[in-house]
């Protein structure tokens, strides 16, 4: 019995060992097969080198440090208009804000636009912009809560709120003062007790074309957006006669709706301009943005915080912004400003300056052009006596002019709507002359009908397309009073002068241009002197 039991145990042990051995073999076979498959898979890209992620390295710090430095100084501004029952987004100066249901979009096809907010479009994330609000940007310039921004961002706003980056709280701000002529405004935060980081002010006179430029603002409400580019140009004039003082810095740093009022910075992080406008046909960024130089902005800011308003000097004369060199030459001048208008009872009129004088120097320094004169007179304190040198009849004359306050000097000035109604009564009597115009003598009836009181002159009945006259700006219904300072009383006078001229001669016309004072063309006819000049071509 013991022998039988021992044999059974031995048999069981042998079976167990056999099963164990088979299991080990199966396991080893599986591992070998897996390794072989992996090896075969690797063979298909045996010459490839695995990619390795390097340790993080900060490749450039200039723009990132600048963004960190200026981020706390740039704010988002929300302006609310009207009452809760009657609030709407304004659409001023070509701003492409969404119109009311019964109102046209004033943005239209204007090329130059000042932006303070617009609903997103294209592929941008759709975020709701209440039609009763508009957004823009601003820059903190004083630790006590003073902010510099564009006037059109807050104009007519019943409520102004300010937000800082990474701070969801909206803080109230009040308007300290504004200057529509430069489109600037100063705000002050109310009930804000946190530490502020004012931006460092630079010197825009030192900016050079090709320098780096960085814009920070809230385009389309996207706060703390940083864009970079270069300075494309300086001294750009896009404001027209209503904004003579605005000579912009042009940049290709991306500026979009909502950037208005934000800073344009140099590579040191100093503010060199206040972003104001862009040139666009689509309503968005197209590579041409404009910023008001900080030197001018700082001057405006300093006056506003001192007195709440901006006071500028004026001598009360008018001139043509597109003054031709031929006009100066025909009056014996090589430089200066040709006076086309003298405001009655203004400083220049009181001093004795007249229409057709050429201002060649102001306070002893030569005057190059109208922009130069406006800039220097505007910066001269009101009440100051200033010497003005003019060229009259080829002779220099000096006058002492007391600088007046701009708004007071021009308080009686009205903007005229050019007279475009009707045609000359007797076009059949017109005479064609080689300047490219048809002219006719003025009858007493025509003078009475047109409200023209001055003696002499001939009426321009038509201007030929692509002619010399059209090129220099003559228009139908102009009255020619003089050519090259020679009085014109009849068609014969024009023909006589014309025969004495040859190609290459400078020709200057003094004309009177009519406009009706008042709304909708109703009111009294007012005639304004206009001077047109050019070089006579081969075939005028």
> Please, what is the Cα angle at 212 between 165 and 199, to 5 degrees?
35
What's the confidence (pLDDT) of residue 520?
43
DSSP states of 403-453: PEEHHHHTTT--PPEEP--S--TTGGG-EEETTTEEEEEPPHHHHHHHT--
Quick one: how far is CA 4 from the chain centroid?
Answer: 113
- What number of CA atoms fall less than 13 Å from residue 184's CA on the CB side? 31
Average pLDDT over residues 454-459: 90
Q: What is the pLDDT of residues 344-368, one digit of tens each?
A: 889 999 999 999 999 999 999 999 9
Q: Which residue has the tokens 């009872």?
A: 345
**Domain(s) of CATH 2.30.42.10: residues in the chain:** 313-409, 417-535
- For residue 416, what pLDDT band results from cuts at 50, 70 and 90? very low
| Residue that wins the pLDDT comparison between 59 and 457 | 457
Domain boundaries 313-409, CATH class: mainly beta
Please give the C-alpha separations between residue 539 and each of 340, 432, 469, in angstroms, as whole numbers. 29, 14, 12
Q: What is the pLDDT of residues 392-402, one digit of tens each?
A: 988 999 999 99
Q: In the chain, what is the straight-line distance between the N-terminal and C-terminal CA atoms, in Å? A: 144
| Cα distance between residue 454 and residue 112, in whole Å | 40
**Domain(s) of CATH 2.40.10.120: residues in the chain:** 61-308
Domain 417-535, CATH: 2.30.42.10
| Cα distance between residue 133 and residue 135, in whole Å | 7
What's the confidence (pLDDT) of residue 238?
74
- For residue 24, what pLDDT band results from cuts at 50, 70 and 90? low
Q: Which residue has the tokens 């814009």?
A: 215
Q: Poorest-confidence range of 158-172, 405-419, 485-499?
A: 405-419
Q: Poorest-confidence range of 52-61, 228-237, 325-334, 478-487?
A: 52-61
Average pLDDT over residues 101-106: 32
Average pLDDT over residues 408-429: 51
Q: Poorest-confidence range of 37-46, 339-348, 414-423?
A: 414-423
pLDDT above 50 (res 376): yes
Average pLDDT over residues 221-233: 89
Mean model confidence pLDDT for the chain? 79
Q: What is the pLDDT of residues 294-315, one digit of tens each?
A: 999 999 999 999 988 888 899 9
Residues forming the active site: 152, 183, 260
Q: Poorest-confidence range of 143-157, 162-176, 244-258, 355-369?
A: 244-258
Domain 61-308, CATH: 2.40.10.120
């Amino acid at each position: 019995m013991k022998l039988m039991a021992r044999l059974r145990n031995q048999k069981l042990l042998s079976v167990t060992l056999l099963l164990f051995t088979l299991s080990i073999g199966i396991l080893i076979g599986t591992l070998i097969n897996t390794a072989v498959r992996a090896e075969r898979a690797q063979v298909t890209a045996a010459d490839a080198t695995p990619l390795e992620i390097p340790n993080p390295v900060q490749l450039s710090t200039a723009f990132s440090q600048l963004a960190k430095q200026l981020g706390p100084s740039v704010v988002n501004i929300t302006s609310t208009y009207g009452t809760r029952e009657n609030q709407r987004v304004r659409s001023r100066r070509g701003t492409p804000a969404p119109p009311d249901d019964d109102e046209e979009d004033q943005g239209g096809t204007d090329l130059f636009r000042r932006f303070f907010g617009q609903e997103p479009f294209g592929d941008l994330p759709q975020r709701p912009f209440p039609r009763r609000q508009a957004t823009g940007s601003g820059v903190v310039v004083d630790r006590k809560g003073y902010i510099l921004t564009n006037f059109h961002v807050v104009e007519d706003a019943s409520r102004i709120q300010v937000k800082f980056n990474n701070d969801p709280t909206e803080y109230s701000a009040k308007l300290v003062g504004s200057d529509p002529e430069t489109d600037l405004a100063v705000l002050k935060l109310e009930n804000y007790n946190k530490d502020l980081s004012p931006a460092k002010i630079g010197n825009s006179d030192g900016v050079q074309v090709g320098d780096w430029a960085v814009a920070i603002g809230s385009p389309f409400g996207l706060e703390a957006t940083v864009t970079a580019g270069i300075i494309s140009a300086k001294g750009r004039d896009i404001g027209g006669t209503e904004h003579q003082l605005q000579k912009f810095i042009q940049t290709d740093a991306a500026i979009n709706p909502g950037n208005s009022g934000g800073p344009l910075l140099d590579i040191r992080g100093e503010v060199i301009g206040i972003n104001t406008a862009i040139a666009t046909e689509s309503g968005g960024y197209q590579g041409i943005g404009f910023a008001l130089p900080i030197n001018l902005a700082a001057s405006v800011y300093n006056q506003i915080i001192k007195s709440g308003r901006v006071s500028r000097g004026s001598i009360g004369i008018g001139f043509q912004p597109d003054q031709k060199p031929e006009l100066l030459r025909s009056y014996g001048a090589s430089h200066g400003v040709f006076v086309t208008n003298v405001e009655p009872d203004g400083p220049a009129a009181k001093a004795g300056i007249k229409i057709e004088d050429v201002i060649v120097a102001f306070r002893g320094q030569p005057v190059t052009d109208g922009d130069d004169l406006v800039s220097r007179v505007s910066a001269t304190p009101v009440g100051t006596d200033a010497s003005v040198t003019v060229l009259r009849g080829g002779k220099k004359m000096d006058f002492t002019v007391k600088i007046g306050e701009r708004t007071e000097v021009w308080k009686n000035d009205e903007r005229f709507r050019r007279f475009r109604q009707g045609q000359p009564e007797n076009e059949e009597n017109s005479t064609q002359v080689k300047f490219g115009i048809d002219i006719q003598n003025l009858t007493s009836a025509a003078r009475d009908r047109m409200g023209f009181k001055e003696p002499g002159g001939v009426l321009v009945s038509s201007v030929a397309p692509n002619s010399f006259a059209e090129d220099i700006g003559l228009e139908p219904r102009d009255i020619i009073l003089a050519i090259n300072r020679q009085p014109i009383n009849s068609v014969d006078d024009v023909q006589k002068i014309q025969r004495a001229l040859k190609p290459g001669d400078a020709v200057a016309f003094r004309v009177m241009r009519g406009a009706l004072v008042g709304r909708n063309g109703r009111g009294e006819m007012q005639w304004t002197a206009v001077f047109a000049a050019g070089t006579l071509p081969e075939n005028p």
